[in-house]
Amino acid sequence: MTTYVNENPSQDPSVNPAHEIVDVQTTDCCIVGGGPAGAVLALLLARQGIRVKLLEAHKDFDRDFRGDTIHPSVMEIMEELGLSDRLLQLPHAKMRRINVKTPQNTVTLADFSHLKTRYPYITMLPQVRFLEFITQEAQKYPNFQLLTGANVQELITENGVIQGVRYRGGGSWHEVRAIITVGADGRHSRLRQLGGFESIETSPPMDILWFRLPKKPEDPEGGMGRFAPGHIVAMLDRGDEWQLAYVIPKGGYQKLRSAGLEELKKSVVEVVPELSDRIPHLHDWSQVAFLSVESSRVKRWYRPGLLLIGDAAHVMSPVGGVGINYAIQDAVVAANVLTKPLKKQYIELSDLAKVQRQRELPTRIIQAFQTFIQKQVFAPILTSNRTFQPPVLLKLPILRDLPARLIALGVFPVHVQV
């Protein structure tokens, strides 16, 4: 056992100078966060013979995820890796269009069936199954290691350069030193906090309550949205269950909670009457998860030795369910850019800047699109009790397919180059 002593604590104020480090590991790339971005990046690098350690704070992937959508852009990436057919052998559903049903009619906001792709649909696949699939594929390579229960607490900083991380696991402190450390640890990123990254934040006019109700065999596949004055409910297909997102005005959770669960159930049935025989399954607030909707991005995605990707770099709104897909596209670009420098055992700051340069514009465009939908579609319904009206711009033939393309394929195509 060794004891880490920081010879110059002023250079790294986050370090406790008396940690007992039970082991010091080395690798080429240390990825913090075993979500879609981290898992896919680890697989891509491992395929190239690069030593990768993937650190995940939880002990497994078997927990409740909200993002279960795999869009055509990601399915095309899986095809390039030779994995798409096997991935689609896992139980899944397909959403070929996003429909919104109002008391008056049904409106199609996005139709994926006309897109030029082998996968003209959104694949509804539990994220836990996707992560297990990707990490099992990565484990075929001896240079890949998945460390679960690894709770990263500190960055190792020497001469202004990040050299790796220290994490707690199994009741002990461990150290991983790496040429490059990648923060893929989600919307509440510990590495973003430790790295002192500055964010540009917005405050979208909504929050979301998530819960599940049984799905009947005769129910339609995929899902849809239900809009009524003052209420928005999204229904997502999870096989034998519906995952429902009940959208509320920003800051309205406590008022709804005070009104009681029965009031929530009544509101849901008013918007989706066919759930009246299933709403009794919702009998306790513990079945309801609250999501404070955010949309933000860091000004600079990197520091010497450290790169942020996915939600760690840009927190997405749930609109369009694009967060997972943009995170995976980040991972592909990061692998494309960093593979050659990692094989040479040296990464320059310009390499990290190149990743942000390729991914920042698509991120800003999709966040602007999400903000537009929230302000022009959701806010009037939630705060003014208006009837849903499709945005005038989306009625123009030249723009009609724009939402489908942005949601399904992203702004620019991303391909595996390594």
> 174 or 101, which is more confident?
174
Residue 205 has pLDDT above 80, yes or no: no
User: In the block, which residue shows the tokens 């065999």?
Assistant: 217
Of 24-38, 136-150, 337-351, 395-409, minimum mean pLDDT range = 395-409
Predicted pLDDT at 365 = 92
Considering the domain architecture, whether residues 225 and 281 belong to the same structural domain is answered as yes
Q: What is the DSSP track for 128-194?
A: HHHHHHHHHHHTTSTTEEEEES-EEEEEEEETTEEEEEEEEETTEEEEEEEEEEEE---TT-HHHHH
- Pair 147, 169: CB distance under 8 Å: yes
Does 101 reside within a domain? no
Predicted pLDDT at 101 = 83
C-alpha span between 331 and 37 (Å, rounded): 5
Considering the domain architecture, whether residues 161 and 277 belong to the same structural domain is answered as no
Of 51-65, 101-115, 299-313, minimum mean pLDDT range = 101-115
With bands split at pLDDT 50, 70 and 90, how would you rate the model's confidence at 18?
low
Considering the domain architecture, whether residues 63 and 188 belong to the same structural domain is answered as yes
C-alpha span between 52 and 387 (Å, rounded): 52
Does 353 reside within a domain? yes
Residue 400 has pLDDT above 80, yes or no: no
Residue 2 has pLDDT above 60, yes or no: no
Does 91 reside within a domain? no
Does 159 reside within a domain? yes
Q: For residue 87, what is the enclosing H or E element? A: helix 84-87
Predicted pLDDT at 62 = 78
| Nearest-10 crossing angle of helices 36-47, 127-138 | 20
With bands split at pLDDT 50, 70 and 90, how would you rate the model's confidence at 345?
very high
Considering the domain architecture, whether residues 263 and 320 belong to the same structural domain is answered as no
Instruction: Decide which of 259, 292, 325 is a domain's last residue.
Output: 292
Does 387 reside within a domain? yes
Residue 375 is given by DSSP the state I
Considering the domain architecture, whether residues 274 and 393 belong to the same structural domain is answered as no
Does 372 reside within a domain? yes
Of 35-49, 86-100, 140-154, minimum mean pLDDT range = 86-100
Residue 218 has pLDDT above 50, yes or no: yes
The CB-side HSE value for 88 (13 A sphere, CA atoms) comes to 16
Which residues constitute the domain of residue 219? Answer: 208-248+251-292
C-alpha span between 197 and 301 (Å, rounded): 8
pLDDT in tens, 162-201: 999 999 998 899 999 999 999 999 999 999 999 999 998 8
Does 95 reside within a domain? no
Considering the domain architecture, whether residues 62 and 160 belong to the same structural domain is answered as yes
Considering the domain architecture, whether residues 194 and 266 belong to the same structural domain is answered as no
Structure-token pair, residue 224: 């849809």
Angle at 98 between CA 94 and CA 100, to 5 degrees: 135
Express as a percent the part of the chain with pLDDT over 70.
92
With bands split at pLDDT 50, 70 and 90, how would you rate the model's confidence at 393?
low
Predicted pLDDT at 9 = 35
Predicted pLDDT at 383 = 79
C-alpha span between 332 and 327 (Å, rounded): 9
pLDDT in tens, 74-90: 999 999 999 999 999 99
Considering the domain architecture, whether residues 381 and 349 belong to the same structural domain is answered as yes
Structure-token pair, residue 44: 């891509």
Considering the domain architecture, whether residues 237 and 308 belong to the same structural domain is answered as no
Does 416 reside within a domain? no
Considering the domain architecture, whether residues 274 and 244 belong to the same structural domain is answered as yes
Residue 14 has pLDDT above 80, yes or no: no
The DSSP bridge partners found for residue 172 are 169
Per-residue pLDDT, averaged over 329-353, amounts to 97
Q: What is the pTM of this model?
A: 0.90
376: CATH: 3.50.50.60
| Nearest-10 crossing angle of helices 402-409, 349-373 | 140
Q: Identify residue 321 by its one-letter amino acid code.
A: G
- Torsion of the alpha carbons at 362, 366, 368 and 373, rounded to the nearest 10: 170
Q: How many domains does the chain have?
A: 2
Mean pLDDT (the chain) is 89
Considering the domain architecture, whether residues 304 and 360 belong to the same structural domain is answered as yes
Considering the domain architecture, whether residues 238 and 334 belong to the same structural domain is answered as no
> 381 or 214, which is more confident?
214
Instruction: Decide which of 292, 317, 351 is a domain's last residue.
Output: 292
pLDDT in tens, 29-61: 999 999 999 999 999 999 999 999 999 999 988
C-alpha span between 126 and 111 (Å, rounded): 22
Q: Is the dihedral of CA 287, 246, 375, 367 positive or negative?
A: positive
Residue 91 has pLDDT above 70, yes or no: yes
Q: Report residue 162: phi and psi, to 5°.
A: -75, 125
Structure-token pair, residue 251: 């800051």
